[in-house]
């Protein structure tokens, strides 16, 4: 019998909560930061409201193999909180995961706490953490860049 686990990541960004929120919720931004190394992403559907659904794929750049998943937004509170139920399209591993992003303004920017609950033990803890670290590094580069207004 497998037992699901929870993984929590905390990172502080030198960016305002509004910019981080846009990066978490806009398809063009999601495909830039969310896929871990070796993958690109495609957002197929994103209905950002409580009860709204999303679907996306990570695609291996090496072999073109897609890895599709989706879910439903359970809580959408602009800037402080986003909660989504997640599932894999192929039902392997089975079950539902719950991802919660909590944003909190701090003196130097925004603290993001990302909790992923219900992860199947078929996904090794350290591999999942490494993938999220890669994604959060890309998120940092996206939201901390200061692009001058034209």
For helices 125-144 and 17-25, the axis angle rounded to 10 degrees is 120
Q: Is the pLDDT of residue 122 over 80?
A: no
What is the number of domains present in the chain?
A: 1
Arithmetic mean of pLDDT over the chain:
91
Domain carrying residue 103: 5-144
State the residue for tokens 């991802």: 99
| pLDDT for the residue numbered 104 | 98
Which CATH number does the domain housing residue 120 bear? 3.30.530.20
Q: What is the pLDDT of residue 1?
A: 46
Q: Where are the alpha helices (DSSP H) in the chain?
A: 17-25, 27-33, 125-144
Q: How confident is the model at residue 149 (pLDDT cuts 50, 70, 90)?
A: confident
CA angle 146, 10, 122 (to 5 degrees): 120
Q: Is residue 59 part of a domain?
A: yes
Q: Which residue has the higher pLDDT, 84 or 95?
A: 84
Q: Is the pLDDT of residue 147 over 60?
A: yes
Residue 107: Cβ within 10 Å count: 6
| Residue 149 counted as domain residue | no
* Residue 71, domain member (yes or no): yes
The pLDDT of residue 92:
59
- Cα separation, 100 vs 146, in Å, equals 27
| pLDDT tens profile 24-77 | 999 999 999 999 899 999 999 999 999 999 999 999 999 999 988 999 999 999
Domain-embedded: residue 125: yes
Look at residue 88 and tell me if it is in a domain.
yes
- Pairwise pLDDT comparison (69 vs 94), residue with the higher score: 69
Rounded to two decimals, the pTM is 0.90
Rounded CA-CA distance 134/140 in Å is: 10
């Amino acid at each position: 019998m497998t037992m699901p686990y929870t993984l929590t990541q905390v990172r502080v960004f030198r960016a305002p909560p509004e910019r981080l929120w846009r990066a978490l919720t806009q398809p063009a931004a999601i495909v830039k930061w969310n896929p871990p190394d070796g993958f690109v992403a495609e957002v197929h559907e994103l209905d950002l409201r409580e009860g709204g659904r999303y679907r996306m794929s990570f695609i291996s750049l090496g072999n073109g193999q897609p890895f599709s998943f989706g879910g439903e937004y359970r809580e959408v509170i602009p800037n402080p909180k986003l909660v989504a139920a997640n599932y894999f399209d192929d039902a392997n591993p089975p079950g539902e995961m719950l991802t919660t992003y909590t944003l909190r303004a701090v003196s130097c920017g925004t603290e993001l706490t990302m909790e992923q609950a219900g992860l199947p033990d078929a996904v090794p803890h350290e591999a999942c953490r490494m993938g999220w670290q890669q994604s959060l590094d890309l998120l940092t580069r996206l939201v901390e860049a200061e692009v001058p207004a034209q």
